[in-house]
A = this chain, B = another copy of it.
């Protein structure tokens, strides 16, 4: 991996970097935390809206993830005094520190999906050629 220019080169620095990544994953790891934060980037959302946008998440898991994100100061839970009360979740200022991580993961995710599609197309056209 060409990250020598970034100051990562020896076993020791790579080991420290791996440890920093483990620290990061300890708070933002798992299947849902980063997708939830990205979903909230368009503005405050209610529980049901989030659930709908995240498609396959269960209410139990979403509730647990939101609590952990609130505890770690990435999101804020606001109760509006309507009848019945309205609860909204929004990003905190601290969550903006994750902006670059989210953008890089998003870009990589898009590129990876395209790569998979291209390789699928390639194997399909090979099949067609074999069948001819």
A contact residues vs B (CB 8 Å cutoff)? 1-3, 6, 8-11, 13-15, 17-25, 27, 29-31, 34-43, 53-54, 91, 95-113
List residues of chain B with CB within 8 A of the CB of A24: 105-106, 108-109, 112
Q: Can you tell how many copies of this chain the complex includes?
A: 2
Is chain A's binding surface mostly helix, strand, loop or mixed? helix
- Asked whether, in the complex, the Cβ of A53 is within 8 Å of the Cβ of B109, the reply is no
- Asked whether, in the complex, the Cβ of B25 is within 8 Å of the Cβ of A31, the reply is yes
Inter-chain CA distance A38–B27, complex, in Å, is: 18
- Asked whether, in the complex, the Cβ of B106 is within 8 Å of the Cβ of A2, the reply is no
- Asked whether, in the complex, the Cβ of A106 is within 8 Å of the Cβ of B29, the reply is no
The 8 Å CB contact of A104, one of B11, B13, B54, B101, is: B101
Contact A14 to B38, CB < 8 A, known contacts A20-B106, A21-B102, A101-B108: yes
